[in-house]
């Protein structure tokens, strides 16, 4: 499955931990299928894993879940755009951008 397909499925799924479990599984598969971009997939894998660990046994508001799904989609789109350029510098910059945006966020995952 291509990264773009994973983004589309995630973006169109109901917000909640089950969606993050599927995202994490997809990232594990992409690490196997596309090891040259493993750092991208591992970063998202970590975000998805943390979200599940933090919220799977907690009730969260629908707004919280939707807001965080949108945030994750924004990270995914940044990385997808860089992956499509097939340029190491673009990908490195995209990874740094996502990490810096995460560091300046509420860190929900």
Tens of pLDDT along 32-91?
999 999 999 999 999 999 999 999 999 999 999 999 999 999 999 999 999 999 999 999
Distances in Å between the Cα of 47 and the Cα atoms of 14, 34, 74 are 17, 19, 13
Q: Which helix (H) or strand (E) holds 92?
A: helix 88-103
The 10 Å Cβ neighbour count of residue 69 is 20
Q: What is the dihedral of CA 9, 11, 16, 21, to 10 degrees?
A: 40
Token digits of residue 32: 């196997």
pLDDT grade for 1, boundaries at 50, 70 and 90: confident
> pTM, whole model, 2 decimals?
0.94
């Amino acid at each position: 499955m291509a990264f773009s397909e994973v983004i589309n499925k995630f973006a169109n799924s109901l917000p909640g931990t089950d969606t993050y479990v599927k995202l994490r599984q997809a990232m594990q598969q992409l690490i196997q299928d596309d090891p040259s971009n493993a750092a991208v997939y591992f970063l998202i894998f970590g975000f998805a894993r943390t979200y599940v660990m933090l919220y799977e046994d907690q009730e969260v508001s629908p707004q919280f879940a939707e807001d965080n799904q949108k945030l994750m989609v924004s990270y995914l789109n940044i990385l997808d755009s860089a992956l499509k350029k097939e340029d190491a510098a673009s990908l490195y910059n995209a990874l740094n951008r996502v990490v810096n945006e995460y560091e300046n966020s509420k860190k929900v995952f």
